[in-house]
Amino acid sequence: MKQAREGMTAGVKAGDRAPDFTLESQDGKQVSLHDYAGSRNVVVYFYPKDFTRGCAAEARTFSSSYEEIKRLGGEVLGISSDSAESHDRFAEECSVAFPLLSDRGGKVRDMYGLRPTLGILPKRVTFVLDKAGMVVNVFSSQIDPKRHVSNAIEVLSALAR
């Protein structure tokens, strides 16, 4: 499947096995990527920071599309370095029904090879994984957060065929 890249990303790419992780969600639960193996395609999106305009737009767009994503056999996991407590408030403000995961210290971001833009701004990158945990698509754009959602839905639709 074609890899969509607006901004180039080093690290994990289409065709790679997605690195596994376990992180705390906004409700205090531990969520592991391997929990979805064999049963769901997974959209893993990394975003810069809770309560910023672009990140709120992205979260709201994923939220409004969440039922469609689930119908297509997908799950959504949002990841930033904010705390689980911050994610809880952000999820409430943006009506987020999927897990927002706290990557304090950026360990998972590093595992995926996501270096900061201009050396300071965390990258906004979305990975779509198939049920086997393989990366089938990577989309990177700092300036078009809503496009991450439409791109993920296109890829999930293709996987559902």
What residues are labeled active site?
Answer: 55
Q: Distance (Å, rounded) from C-alpha 145 to C-alpha 69?
A: 17
Q: Per the structure block, which two tokens stand in for 6?
A: 């607006």
Tell me the angle at which helices 53-64 and 145-160 cross, rounded to the nearest 10 degrees. 30
Strand partners, 137: 128
Burial class of residue 142 in the structure, from the number of CB atoms within 10 Å of its CB (0-12 exposed, 13-18 middle, 19+ buried): middle
Pairing of strands 74-80, 41-46: parallel
Residue 79 and residue 45 in contact, taking contact as beta carbons nearer than 8 Å: yes
